[in-house]
């Protein structure tokens, strides 16, 4: 076999976390999802773990993991988010690499990536090394093996970067064909050896640019079989070993192109069925077909900028087209701001870290171990390896703050800050936030405010909107108001607790929280809630204790919140007493809050968007429960009468109809969670929904139906031969067919396909021998297959 095909997917999301809270905040543009990570995970990362192949009637004939069969890079910032928020998807990606190793002779499909997507040719030598070392170490901690290859962010390349990669044990990378510097066109069907200044070398694979372009932006993903034919048609007619391969963003398969993962799965299955070509990954091909020719590269080039790497440092024309006739000159100023602050932060790091550790830069390279595991025990091990001597608690805090400062300094150079068309875009705002966090940490160490080094160049960064005429305006409006110190983070935790969390709210691994509830008072139409919060940063080991207060109206509307350093237990217990007199004078209540909490007094408008969202969700939940109780009886009991009153539905006021819709959907959701389901009550709700003309596709009941069906199928997966469990599943889907619900079938389809694949043939044989239990089992499986749209033999 001399003909091989490899499809590479570069899966990546930029760091979107609030640099102070270490959590991704709500992004309205991602609606109906909380944020873009959530949305892309639902549209791409999860579907590719179990991609469908359908027959002509739309039934699933096969489910496969595309990750197991392609080559892929998954950025550490994406994998970190998946590990925390989509653990099943994360586990499936790791499992796909293990399965791929079995498939491809010990060579896994996954390759590493530069840590947080810096444009490496524009980085300092030390940052290049750290990005590569962190990318490799992060990969090893997840996949349990050393990576053979590494993806360069935006495929931006220079010789120094390749040399560091080779020094760190990386055998190959993937580039666009125009990045080769050769007197004649290169043959993308073979690897090349690239000699490096140190005397080392690295293998380079140049993907087929024409096919990749049509996959990403053309019509090749309209039909997976057509994609397979196009790839197979790219082989030369001779018999020499050849590798036809393409590389695109992994998000092409399902996010950028709806159902793209299904086309990819169909393509992979079609090639697997062939005898004249075989799927492979780069590591396997390189082992059996090492390069026989050399190539030099065009330095400072990339795959997404026809001007080299100017998209990330000057005002070249490359963009997304969002502002026709607009300017990209802001990119130059943003790069200047980044480089200026970065240079000063390096001086701060070297000056203050040198007395504390044996080698500051070796410690920075090893800091990835702390990022991956913030536990005190693990950080102590790191300190024992690197500290120049026994450090005092204050010195330990300084060292950890310096290392975190340098992490934020690299995050502020993430490529997405320059990629899009306006400096007020989310990517640019995000890198500014990391810059603000880095400058804040430096200020805490040196007492010098370095923020102006960053913000002054932004005055010369022209925007493309009237609202944000320059980068300085963006920073002043979108970054500076949301900078947090430890006390503000503690208030964030206290606010979540006072608005409804039982006990201490759960924050990311970077923080440890304890919450002591104090008072809940109702005085003259106001509600007062107080608590004491103890917050410890696992990142810098700082700790603070804060007394927090929340003032609500009698109806539960947010008025104001505040916090102050907790002096002692007596002061904490006396906080409510100090405010109670002012509550009796409504006009003085907010003034009293300011008097007690000072600058740490926040009305709703001064909170971050994520806090506003969390507060409203928690406070509204209690009020919705009250409204449900008020409307429930009338809506359900009187709803069936409406069809007897001709035309009444048309003359009903809108608010009662809206209330009916909400209550009935909530009631349906509640009933679907009951064990067992009350069939009589369910019929009453269904009738009332028909009478009130409630929409039949509502998120809350759909989620409840999804959870109920998924739970039933998971139990079946644990005991697939249990006829009772299978019967329960059939009864449930029969019930759903008569209800206005549309559950998400994705996980249930996966389970049914797996159970059928392992057990259906055996049960069919037993049924054919006359076993009544097996006959009933097979019948129910077929019934379940019809509902779940899974083709069963």
Together in a domain, 103 and 153: yes
Q: Which pLDDT belongs to residue 184?
A: 78
Q: Which pLDDT belongs to residue 501?
A: 62
Together in a domain, 252 and 350: no
Which residue, of 555, 583, 607, is where some domain finishes?
A: 607
Residue 475's Cβ-count burial label (10 Å; 0-12, 13-18, 19+) is buried
Q: Which pLDDT belongs to residue 321?
A: 93
Together in a domain, 55 and 201: yes
Together in a domain, 532 and 477: no
In total, the chain counts a number of residues equal to 793
Q: Which residues of the chain have pLDDT under 70?
A: 501-503, 585-587, 621-659, 696
DSSP 8-state code for residue 564: E
Together in a domain, 680 and 702: yes
Nearest to 127 by CA among 454, 414, 452: 414
Together in a domain, 60 and 101: yes
547 DSSP β-pair partners = 532, 564
CB neighbourhood size of 449 (10 A): 11
751 domain-assigned: yes
Contacts of 182 (CB under 8 A, 6+ apart): 295, 296
736 domain-assigned: yes
457 domain-assigned: yes
668 domain-assigned: yes
86 domain-assigned: yes
Which residue, of 607, 635, 668, is where some domain finishes?
A: 607
Q: Which pLDDT belongs to residue 368?
A: 98
Which residue, of 576, 607, 638, is where some domain finishes?
A: 607
Q: Which pLDDT belongs to residue 654?
A: 53
Together in a domain, 471 and 494: no
Q: What is the distance of C-alpha 275 from the center of its chain?
A: 39
CB neighbourhood size of 554 (10 A): 11
Together in a domain, 237 and 385: no
Full domain range(s) for residue 550: 489-607
243 domain-assigned: yes
Together in a domain, 715 and 735: yes
579 domain-assigned: yes
Angle subtended at Cα 86 by Cα 19 and Cα 506, rounded to the nearest 5 degrees: 50
Place of tokens 């007619």: 237
Residue 178's Cβ-count burial label (10 Å; 0-12, 13-18, 19+) is middle
Q: Which pLDDT belongs to residue 647?
A: 45
Together in a domain, 349 and 459: yes
For the whole model, what pTM was predicted?
0.94
Give the CATH number for residue 46.
3.20.110.20
Domain count, the chain: 4
The percentage of the chain sitting over the pLDDT mark of 70, rounded to a whole number, equals 94
Distance CA 506, CA 504 (A): 6
793 domain-assigned: no
Together in a domain, 140 and 287: yes
DSSP 8-state code for residue 744: -
In three-state secondary structure terms, 373 is: coil
Structure-token pair, residue 437 = 């966090």
Together in a domain, 478 and 498: no
- 255, 18 contact by CB (below 8 A): no
């Amino acid at each position: 076999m001399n003909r091989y095909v490899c499809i590479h997917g570069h899966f990546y999301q930029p760091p979107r976390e609030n640099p102070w809270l270490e959590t991704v905040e709500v992004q309205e543009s991602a609606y109906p999802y909380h944020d873009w990570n959530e949305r892309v995970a639902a549209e791409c990362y999860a579907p590719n773990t179990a991609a469908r192949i359908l027959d002509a009637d739309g039934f699933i004939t096969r489910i496969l993991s595309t990750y197991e069969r392609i080559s892929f890079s998954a950025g550490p910032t994406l994998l970190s988010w998946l590990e925390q928020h989509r653990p099943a998807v994360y586990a499936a990606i790791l499992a796909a690499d293990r399965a791929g190793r079995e498939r491809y002779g010990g060579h896994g499909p996954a390759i590493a990536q530069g840590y947080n997507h810096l444009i490496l040719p524009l980085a300092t030598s030390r940052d290049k090394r750290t990005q590569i070392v962190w990318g490799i170490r992060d990969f090893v901690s997840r996949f349990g093996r050393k990576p053979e290859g590494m993806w360069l962010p935006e495929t931006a390349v220079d010789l120094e970067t390749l040399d560091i990669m080779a020094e760190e044990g990386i055998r190959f990378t993937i580039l666009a064909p125009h990045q080769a510097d050769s007197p004649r066109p290169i043959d993308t069907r073979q690897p090349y050896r690239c000699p490096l200044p140190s005397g080392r070398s690295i293998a380079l694979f140049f993907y087929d640019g024409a096919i990749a372009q049509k996959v990403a932006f053309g019509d090749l993903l309209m039909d997976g079989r057509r994609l397979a034919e196009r790839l197979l048609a790219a082989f030369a007619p001779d018999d020499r070993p050849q590798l036809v391969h393409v590389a695109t963003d992994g998000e092409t398969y399902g996010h950028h192109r709806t159902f793209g993962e299904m086309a990819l799965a169909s393509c992979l299955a079609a090639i697997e069925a062939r005898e004249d070509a075989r799927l492979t990954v780069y590591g396997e091909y390189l082992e059996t077909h090492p390069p026989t020719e050399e190539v030099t590269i065009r330095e400072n080039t990339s795959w997404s900028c026809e001007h080299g790497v100017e998209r990330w440092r000057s005002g070249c024309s490359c963009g997304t087209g969002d502002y026709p006739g607009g300017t990209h000159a802001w990119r130059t100023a943003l790069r200047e701001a980044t480089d200026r602050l970065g240079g000063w932060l390096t001086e701060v790091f070297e000056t203050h870290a040198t007395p504390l550790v044996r080698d500051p830069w070796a410690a920075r390279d090893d800091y990835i171990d702390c990022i991956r595991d913030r536990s005190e025990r693990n950080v102590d091990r790191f300190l024992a390896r690197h500290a120049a001597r026994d450090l005092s608690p204050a010195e330990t805090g300084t060292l950890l703050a310096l290392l975190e400062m340098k992490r934020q300094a690299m995050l502020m150079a993430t490529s997405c800050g320059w990629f899009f068309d306006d400096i007020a875009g989310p990517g640019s705002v995000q890198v500014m936030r990391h810059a603000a966090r880095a400058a804040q940490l430096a200020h805490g160490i040196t007492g010098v405010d370095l923020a102006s080094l960053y913000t002054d160049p932004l005055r010369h960064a022209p925007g493309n909107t009237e609202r944000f005429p320059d980068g300085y305006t963006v920073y002043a409006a979108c970054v500076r108001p949301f900078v947090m110190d430890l006390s503000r983070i503690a208030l964030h935790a206290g606010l979540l607790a006072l608005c409804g969390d039982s006990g201490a709210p759960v924050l990311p691994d970077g923080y440890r929280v304890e919450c002591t509830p104090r008072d809940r008072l109702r005085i003259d139409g106001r509600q007062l809630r107080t608590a004491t919060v103890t917050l410890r940063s696992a990142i810098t080991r700082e700790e603070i204790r804060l007394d927090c207060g929340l003032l609500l109206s009698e109806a539960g509307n947010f008025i104001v919140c505040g916090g102050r350093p907790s002096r002692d237990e007596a002061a904490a217990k006396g906080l409510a007493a100090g405010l109670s007199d002012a509550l009796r004078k409504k006009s003085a209540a907010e003034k009293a809050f300011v008097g007690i909490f000072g600058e740490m007094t926040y009305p709703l408008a001064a909170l971050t968007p994520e806090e506003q969202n969390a507060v409203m969700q928690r406070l509204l939940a209690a009020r919705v429960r009250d409204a449900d109780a008020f409307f429930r009886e009338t809506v359900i009991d009187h709803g069936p009468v409406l069809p007897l009153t001709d035309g009444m539905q048309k003359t009903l006021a809108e608010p009662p109809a809206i209330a009916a819709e909400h209550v009935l959907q909530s009631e349906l959701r509640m009933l679907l969670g009951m064990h067992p389901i009350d069939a009589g009550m369910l019929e009453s709700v269904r009738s009332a929904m028909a009478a009130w003309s409630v929409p039949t596709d509502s998120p809350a009941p759909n989620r409840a139906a999804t959870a109920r069906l998924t739970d039933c199928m998971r139990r079946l997966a644990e005991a697939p031969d249990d006829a009772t469990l299978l019967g329960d599943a059939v009864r449930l889907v029969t019930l759903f067919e008569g209800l206005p619900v549309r559950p998400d079938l994705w996980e249930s389809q996966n389970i049914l396909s797996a159970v059928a694949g392992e057990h259906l043939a055996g049960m069919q044989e037993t049924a054919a021998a006359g076993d009544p239990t097996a006959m009933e089992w097979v019948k129910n499986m077929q019934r379940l297959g019809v509902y779940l749209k899974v083709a069963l033999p």
